[in-house]
Amino acid sequence: GLNEIITALGHENREIDIFKIDVEGAEFKSLTPLLTSGAWRKKPPIRQVLIEVHVLGINKQKVVDLNKELLSAFLNNGYVLFHKEPNIQHAGGNCVEFAFLQLDLPTPPDKPT
């Protein structure tokens, strides 16, 4: 899981500037519960999250509902959506790229403002 990845990369107690997530269709099953459980807030601070959401094989209303849940979960964790675009080159155009920015993280003393 995420804890193991953070540990393996030596990112405990460090701020993560950009976290790219591409889990090939498991976004809703993995991220929404992680964000809504409160576990996300226990991770090192993450400034930007880039995620590719796959919607192949899901009916349109279910896609809308799942995206609302995921977007709400990010918003409830202090993120704002700052970019989105369809990925028309892969998966038959059934992917969307989202980019979120955490606005309430303090600027570390070693980084310019």
The segment with the largest mean pLDDT, out of 24-28, 35-39, 57-61, 95-99, is: 95-99
Q: What pLDDT is recorded for position 44? A: 74
Q: Which domain holds residue 39?
A: 2-102
Question: Is-contact 71 99, C-beta < 8 A?
Answer: no
**Cα 36 to Cα 30: distance, rounded to the nearest angstrom:** 11
pLDDT tens-digit profile of 39-60?
Answer: 777 677 888 989 888 776 666 7
Q: Does residue 108 form part of some domain? A: no
CATH number at residue 74: 3.30.110
CA dihedral 46, 50, 103, 36 (to 10 degrees): -70
Count the domains in the chain: 1
Q: Between 63 and 56, whose confidence is greater?
A: 63
Percentage of the residues of the chain whose pLDDT score is greater than 90: 7
